[in-house]
């Protein structure tokens, strides 16, 4: 008989996770843990049954774009797979966005959500991406929206009913850049107000019209989007930008003055429809008054950055689960891989790095929940602002590095498409690019540090994240403090050039301190 190698197997990703339940028991009051336990177990089962099946279906049937009908009428139809639609419905039913706004568990609601998303993401074919923007849009409306948006769009974004649930896009990136939005050339002009909306509950007043091209839009099948545009007469640069709301389709599902230029061909995230769009007088509504667009949309992208961290660790976990399962069935040199000291050590080191990413992410999720429920202390507010970019850059980079190592742990099989392993690496690469690259986030951390003041940040870290009885940890912290102290005399050039080193050092220190 020819030898046939058994492949890796996945089991309920909640009950078989080596770290999630233990961590939640530590992070949550026990009554909250008991209440959410059955739901997480249910979701962990879905992640290896229905969701896994649908995500594979979605990945095998990428979205298509049909620009014209047979007679030449522009229709710009984007067709998602059935699997994708089932996954969007499932996200609504399980309340992945809703639970953060119901706030049933007060400041712990974001921790509960992080656990759900962590289980959902690896079997979601990146439906997690529109969910991130949906959640961010809900937060921006909560903070800056008027009654129309709060009674209309917000209720759809936070609905548990798949028939009512909306997802949102976030359109910032133009041809001039995704990191630097100051060159945004989309123009906003006032127009005759019209009250129209896909929302049956509340018609929305659209009294602006938008013209321009958006270069990366990752939720082109969403019902709405939040975007940056420059009102007529506003100054150049990012200060002249405002935040707008638009609904993509009319009640007949036709795009409202929006042309889909093309779907992007990407390295990964194949199931996710990412498009270039032209706005041709698209009706829009100003959010939170004119100006301050970047500050307002930061409430949205700070949420998507937390999602990015959660999805990075979920992705990392999935890759580790597969590698550990494979190590139990693959034999070489007379022993299972799991019994080979060097292979075991390699996987162990990845597991330890994963845990640091996990702890940092859940710490930030808890801080976010505290901030939203107004129970955060001043030190916690400072930590949330400074550690959101740190968690994003740290988890994304370690996810790519870890998954690359895991692909290698499969040997040649890791390089073969139909094992599903190469996809893990291609998909992982997006985490360190979208929602701000590693360098952009390191500079964001630097700005947060300067704005909140280095002294306040040092005090906040010492209050919450330093193990004073651990010599290794103290040595790292002294190194970071020396780095921060040099900021007082360093040139701008030196500060920026060192921002990445400092960011990863802070990521190491905080995650180590939380263990």
| Nearer to ligand MFK among residue 202 and residue 395 (C-beta) | 395
Beta-carbon neighbour count of residue 346 at 10 Å? 18
Question: Mask of contacts with ligand MFK, 251-280, x by CB under 6 A?
Answer: ---------------x--x--x-x------
Tokens of 495: 């500060």
The reply to whether 306 sits near ligand MFK by the rule CB under 6 A is no
Query: Would you call 259 exposed, middle or buried from its count of C-beta atoms within 10 A (0-12, 13-18, 19+)?
Result: middle
Contact 118, 24 (CB under 8 A): no
CB of 304 to ligand MFK, least distance (A): 8
Size of the site for ligand MFK (CB under 6 A): 27
Q: Stretches 43-51, 97-105, 203-211, 432-440: which one binds ligand MFK (CB under 6 A)? A: 432-440
| Nearer to ligand MFK among residue 167 and residue 274 (C-beta) | 274
The reply to whether 510 sits near ligand MFK by the rule CB under 6 A is no
Strand-pair category, 168-171 with 224-231: parallel
Tokens of 448: 């947060």
The reply to whether 137 sits near ligand MFK by the rule CB under 6 A is no
Of 118, 216, 244, 457, which one interacts with ligand MFK (CB under 6 A)?
216
The reply to whether 174 sits near ligand MFK by the rule CB under 6 A is no
Q: How far is CA 152 from CA 26, 145, 289, in A?
A: 38, 10, 18
Contact 97, 138 (CB under 8 A): yes
Cα separation of 292 and 357, whole Å? 33
The reply to whether 292 sits near ligand MFK by the rule CB under 6 A is yes
| Nearer to ligand MFK among residue 181 and residue 347 (C-beta) | 181
- Owner of token pair 């030449």: 72
| Nearer to ligand MFK among residue 21 and residue 435 (C-beta) | 435
Residue nearest to ligand MFK (CB): 178
Could you give the residue ranges of the DSSP H alpha helices within 373-491?
Answer: 378-409, 421-428, 438-452, 454-464, 471-486
Tell which positions 389-418 bind ligand MFK, by CB under 6 A: none
Beta-carbon neighbour count of residue 420 at 10 Å? 13
The reply to whether 64 sits near ligand MFK by the rule CB under 6 A is no
Cα separation of 156 and 369, whole Å? 21
The reply to whether 433 sits near ligand MFK by the rule CB under 6 A is yes
Q: Stretches 160-168, 170-178, 363-371, 467-475: which one binds ligand MFK (CB under 6 A)? A: 170-178
- Chain Cα centroid distance, residue 158: 17
| Nearer to ligand MFK among residue 170 and residue 419 (C-beta) | 170
Of 109, 298, 312, 346, which one interacts with ligand MFK (CB under 6 A)?
298
Q: Running DSSP on this structure, what letter comes out for residue 122?
A: G
CB of 464 to ligand MFK, least distance (A): 20
The reply to whether 372 sits near ligand MFK by the rule CB under 6 A is no
Of 8, 212, 436, 507, which one interacts with ligand MFK (CB under 6 A)?
436
Of 384, 430, 449, 460, which one interacts with ligand MFK (CB under 6 A)?
430
| Nearer to ligand MFK among residue 209 and residue 298 (C-beta) | 298
The reply to whether 435 sits near ligand MFK by the rule CB under 6 A is yes
H or E stretch at 335? strand 335-336
Cα separation of 380 and 494, whole Å? 28
Task: Give residues with Cβ within 8 angstroms of 201, minimum separation 6.
Answer: 151, 152, 155
In sequence order, what DSSP letters do the residues of 203-219 get, joined into one string? -EEEEEEEEEEEEEES-
Question: Mask of contacts with ligand MFK, 74-113, x by CB under 6 A?
Answer: ----------------------------------------
Question: Mask of contacts with ligand MFK, 232-251, x by CB under 6 A?
Answer: ------x-------------
Q: Provide φ and ψ at 495, rounded to 5°.
A: -55, -50
Tokens of 21: 């339940």
H or E stretch at 68? strand 64-68
How many CA atoms within 13 Å lie on the side-chain side of 200?
Answer: 3
CB of 91 to ligand MFK, least distance (A): 17
| Nearer to ligand MFK among residue 51 and residue 301 (C-beta) | 301
Which residues of the shown chain bind ligand MFK in the complex (CB under 6 A)? 129, 172-173, 178-179, 181, 216, 218, 238, 266, 269, 272, 274, 292, 294-295, 298, 301-302, 430, 433-436, 440, 444, 447
């Amino acid at each position: 008989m020819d030898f046939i190698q058994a492949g890796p197997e996945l089991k309920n990703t909640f009950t078989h996770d080596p770290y999630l339940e233990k961590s939640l028991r530590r992070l949550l009051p026990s009554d909250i843990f008991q209440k959410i336990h059955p739901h997480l177990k249910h979701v962990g089962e879905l992640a290896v049954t229905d969701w896994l099946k649908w995500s594979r279906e979605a990945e095998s049937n990428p979205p298509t774009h049909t620009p014209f009908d047979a007679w030449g009428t522009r229709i710009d139809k984007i067709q998602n797979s059935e699997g994708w639609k089932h996954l969007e419905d499932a996200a609504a039913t399980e309340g992945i966005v809703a639970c953060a706004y119901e706030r049933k568990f007060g400041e712990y609601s974001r921790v509960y959500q992080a656990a759900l998303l962590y289980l959902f993401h690896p079997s979601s074919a990146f439906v997690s991406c529109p969910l991130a923007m949906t959640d961010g849009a809900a937060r921006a409306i909560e903070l800056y929206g008027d009654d129309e948006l709060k009674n209309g769009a917000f209720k759809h974004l936070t609905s548990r009913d798949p028939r009512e649930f909306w997802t949102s896009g976030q359109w910032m990136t133009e041809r001039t850049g995704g990191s630097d939005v100051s060159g945004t050339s989309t123009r906003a002009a006032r127009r005759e107000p019209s009250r129209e909306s896909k929302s049956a509950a509340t018609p929305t007043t659209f009294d602006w019209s938008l013209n321009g091209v958006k270069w990366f839009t990752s939720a082109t099948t969403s019902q709405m989007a939040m975007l940056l545009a420059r009102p007529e007469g506003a100054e150049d640069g990012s200060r002249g930008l405002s935040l707008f709301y638009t609904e993509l389709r009319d009640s007949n599902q036709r795009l409202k003055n929006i042309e889909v230029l093309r779907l992007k061909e990407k390295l990964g995230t194949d199931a996710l429809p990412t498009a270039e769009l032209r706005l041709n007088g698209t009706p829009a509504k100003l959010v939170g008054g004119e100006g301050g667009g970047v500050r307002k949309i930061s409430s949205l992208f700070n949420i998507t950055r937390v999602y990015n961290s959660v999805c990075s660790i979920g992705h990392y976990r999935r890759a580790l689960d597969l590698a550990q399962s494979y190590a139990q069935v693959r034999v070489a040199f007379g022993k299972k891989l799991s019994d080979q000291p060097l292979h075991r050590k390699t996987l162990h080191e990845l597991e330890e790095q994963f845990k640091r990413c996990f702890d940092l992410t859940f710490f930030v999720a808890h801080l976010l929940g505290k901030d939203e429920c107004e129970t955060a202390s001043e030190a916690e507010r400072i930590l949330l602002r400074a550690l959101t970019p740190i968690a994003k850059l740290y988890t994304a980079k370690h996810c790519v590095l870890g998954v690359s190592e895991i692909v290698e742990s499969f040997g040649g099989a890791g390089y073969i498409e139909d094992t599903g392993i190469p996809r893990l690496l291609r998909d992982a690469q997006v985490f360190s690019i979208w929602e701000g690259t590693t360098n952009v986030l390191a500079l964001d951390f630097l700005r947060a540090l300067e704005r909140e003041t280095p002294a306040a940040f040092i005090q906040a870290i010492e209050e919450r994240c330093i193990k004073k009885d651990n010599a290794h940890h103290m040595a790292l912290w002294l190194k970071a403090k020396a780095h921060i102290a040099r900021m007082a005399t360093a040139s701008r050039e030196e500060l920026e050039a060192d921002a990445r080193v400092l960011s990863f050092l802070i990521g190491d220190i905080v995650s180590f301190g939380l263990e």
